[in-house]
Copies of this chain bind each other. A is one copy, B any other.
């Protein structure tokens, strides 16, 4: 069965094949693009997407435990240890004992951490604006909505 190239009509590329309708493949590639843009925007601030995400969550009012960070970012708990170690060594976050559970640490941004988060977040926003340049507001919302369902099933 010779497929007849069913990709849209934009005719820019050399007639992609089957894989180009594959959500997983597109997801992987889009993520690679986004990740590269994110890291590029963050490198000036000494952060990467990983550490930025931790910092972002620590800077909000969530007071996440490391386990929560691991679940949210879909990381192994041991990775969170390393990330928090690094941010803590730089004085950007602190581990505070969870009053309700002495096993758990609550990760919270310091003043320096919140300050850095502020400027880094702005850089990230600019980077993303560029990435989503051709998307209308509705399209962005649609994309976010669809991705959210994929990212948080159940």
A34 interface neighbour in B28, B32, B57, Cβ under 8 Å: B28
A74 interface neighbour in B21, B32, B74, Cβ under 8 Å: B32
Q: Please, which residues of chain B bring their CB within 8 A of the CB of A73?
A: 29
* Chain A interfacial residues counted at CB < 8 A: 56
User: In whole angstroms, what is the CA distance A153 to B124 when docked?
Assistant: 18
Task: Determine whether the beta carbon of A134 is less than 8 Å from that of B149.
Answer: yes
Task: Determine whether the beta carbon of A20 is less than 8 Å from that of B62.
Answer: no
Copies of this chain, how many?
A: 2
Pick out which of these stretches binds chain B: A84-92, A96-104, A106-114, A137-145.
A137-145
Task: Determine whether the beta carbon of A143 is less than 8 Å from that of B144.
Answer: no
A24 interface neighbour in B21, B49, B145, Cβ under 8 Å: B49
With an 8 A cutoff between CB atoms, is A23 at the interface? Answer: yes
Task: Determine whether the beta carbon of A147 is less than 8 Å from that of B23.
Answer: yes
A30 interface neighbour in B53, B142, B151, Cβ under 8 Å: B151
User: In whole angstroms, what is the CA distance A57 to B124 when docked?
Assistant: 33
Task: Determine whether the beta carbon of A24 is less than 8 Å from that of B150.
Answer: no
Task: Determine whether the beta carbon of A23 is less than 8 Å from that of B57.
Answer: no
Tell me the minimal C-beta distance from A119 to chain B in angstroms.
16
Q: List 13 A-B contacts (CB under 8 A).
A: A17-B60, A19-B56, A19-B57, A23-B34, A23-B132, A23-B147, A24-B35, A26-B144, A28-B34, A30-B31, A33-B153, A132-B150, A142-B146
